[in-house]
Amino acid sequence: MKLPRMGLGCMSLSHAYGTPPSEEQGLAMLRAALDAGVTHLDTATLYGAGRNEELVGRALAGRRDEVVLVSKGGMSVENGVRTIDGRPETLRRQVDASLRRLGVDHIDLYYLHRWDKTVPIRDSVGALADLRDAGKIGAIGLSEVSVPRLREALAVAPIAAVQNEYSLWTRNPELGMLDATREAGIALVAFSPVARGFLADAVADPGLLAEKDLRRGMPRFQAEHWTRNAALLPSWRALAAEAGCTPAQLALAWVLSRGAHVVALPGTTSIAHLRDDFAAVDLAVPSDVLARAGELIGPATVSGSRYNAAQAADVDTEAFESAG
């Protein structure tokens, strides 16, 4: 399957970054996105404990054929606790539940949201292949996996996309996944391409983030690393101004420059920011500016790991050593 070069990550409409907008505000946001020509919507069983899929389903009523509809399973909220469960019976149950919440008869692309390290990935992917053959999903994806895990999965079934975090400040895919997906003809979907708001210049002070904001637990936003990271922002703003675009647009243009198979997946709760983000698809940023962006923000300059120890234990990606 062919994914558009940019999609809308819907997570923040229900989950993770502080207090989400009301359901009606989220619905208005999604309908505005569709009206603006957004054709790739990404949700998951996890987001809002299913509420995000319900929201996306409401927005798509009567408009299902306008988008590539994407969801994920294998990670959910069970009794208030985030749970990773890649057993075939769980994935079958979650796909059926996603179809009901979305109000559709098939999901175009369905990711294994996390590899359950207690379940061989061949078993999880085999279950998704059965669901594909049954017409409930159109294609299989993997999220937050390493190259060895991708190769194990490919031995079972075709993989259409790998969704891993990728941005100027998280370069893990450059340790093999960027090349592996290109060589296999697989889309590399970059989530958090503006570094969870950092490269959009959207975080003035992490101490002011909402109590339940996911970023509070991430080392790069904590005091011992934030001071060093924030010191990069004046030069980052200046570089974006030189390119004649916003900081978020420069971050997205850099991600898109990494290969024709790379798809950017920003998320936002703002219609204005959405329009700003999607304008990056058509930006022509000089190659020397992109190169300088990569030198300014990268493994050698960003302080702190992307995840804390507990969060890191749930993923399977290659990783650079932290600069700080």
| Residues 6+ away with beta carbon under 8 Å from 287 | 257
Name the one residue in this structure whose structure tokens are 């995840």: 307
Distance between CA atoms of 90 and 275, rounded to whole angstroms?
A: 37
244 in the Ramachandran plot: left (φ > 0), alpha (ψ -120 to 50) or beta? left
Bridge partners, 83 (sequence order): 76
Q: In what order do the strands lie in the sheet with 8-9?
A: 8-9, 40-42, 68-73, 107-112, 137-143, 161-165, 187-191, 262-265
CA dihedral (82, 84, 88, 92) in degrees, to 10, reads: 30
- Tally DSSP H helices, then E strands, for the chain: 12, 10
Q: Is 111 a catalytic residue?
A: no
Name the one residue in this structure whose structure tokens are 């850099």: 254
Nearest-5° Cα angle at 67, 315 to 264: 40
Distance between CA atoms of 148 and 308, rounded to whole angstroms?
A: 23
Burial of 243 (0-12, 13-18, 19+ CB in 10 A): buried
Tokens of 30: 């999604």
47, 110, 111, 166: the active-site residue: 47
Query: Among all residues, which ones are annotated catalytic?
Result: 47
